[in-house]
Homo-oligomer: A and B are copies of this chain.
Amino acid sequence: MYTESIENYLKTIYEIQKESEKVTTNSISEKLGVAPASVTSMMKKLSEKKLITHKRYQGVKLTGPGKKIALEVIRHHRLVELYLAEALGVPWDQVHDEAEKWEHVLSEDLEDRMDKVLGYPTRDPHGSPIPSRDGTVIELESIPLVELQPGQSGVIAEVSDHDPDLLRYVGKMGLYPMTKIEVLSVEPFSGPITIKVEDASHILGSEAAQYVFVSDVEGERGEAS
- With a CB–CB cut-off of 8 A, which chain B residues contact A87? 87, 117
A84, A88, A98, A102 pick with most chain B CB within 10 angstroms? A88
Of B89, B107, B114, which contacts A98 at CB under 8 A?
A: B107
Q: Within 8 Å of chain B (Cβ to Cβ): is A49? A: no
If over half of A's interface residues share one DSSP class (helix, strand or loop), that class is named, otherwise mixed; here it is: helix
Q: Within 8 Å of chain B (Cβ to Cβ): is A109? A: yes
- With a CB–CB cut-off of 8 A, which chain B residues contact A84? 110
User: Is B101 a contact of A113 with CB atoms below 8 Å?
Assistant: no
Of B98, B104, B105, B117, which contacts A88 at CB under 8 A?
A: B117
CB distance from A85 to the nearest CB of B (A): 11
A84 vs B109: C-alpha distance in the bound complex, in angstroms?
11
Interface residues on A, range: 10 to 19
- With a CB–CB cut-off of 8 A, which chain B residues contact A104? 105
- With a CB–CB cut-off of 8 A, which chain B residues contact A102? 102, 105
User: Is A101 a contact of B110 with CB atoms below 8 Å?
Assistant: no
CB distance from A10 to the nearest CB of B (A): 19
User: Is A90 a contact of B105 with CB atoms below 8 Å?
Assistant: no
A104 vs B94: C-alpha distance in the bound complex, in angstroms?
18
- With a CB–CB cut-off of 8 A, which chain B residues contact A90? 109-110, 113
A87 vs B94: C-alpha distance in the bound complex, in angstroms?
21
A101 with B105, Cβ < 8 A, contacts A113-B88, A114-B88 known: yes
Binary B-proximity of A65-87 (CB < 8 A = 1, otherwise 0): 00000000000000000001001
A107 vs B89: C-alpha distance in the bound complex, in angstroms?
14
User: Is A113 a contact of B98 with CB atoms below 8 Å?
Assistant: no
Name 19 A/B residue pairs within 8 A (Cβ), A-sorted. Answer: A84-B110, A87-B87, A87-B117, A88-B110, A88-B113, A88-B114, A88-B117, A89-B113, A90-B109, A90-B110, A90-B113, A94-B109, A98-B107, A98-B110, A101-B105, A102-B102, A102-B105, A104-B105, A105-B105
Give 5 nearest A-B pairs by CB, closest first.
Answer: A101-B105, A88-B113, A105-B105, A102-B105, A98-B107
Q: Which residues of A contact B (CB under 8 A)?
A: 84, 87-90, 94, 98, 101-102, 104-105, 107, 109-110, 113-114, 117
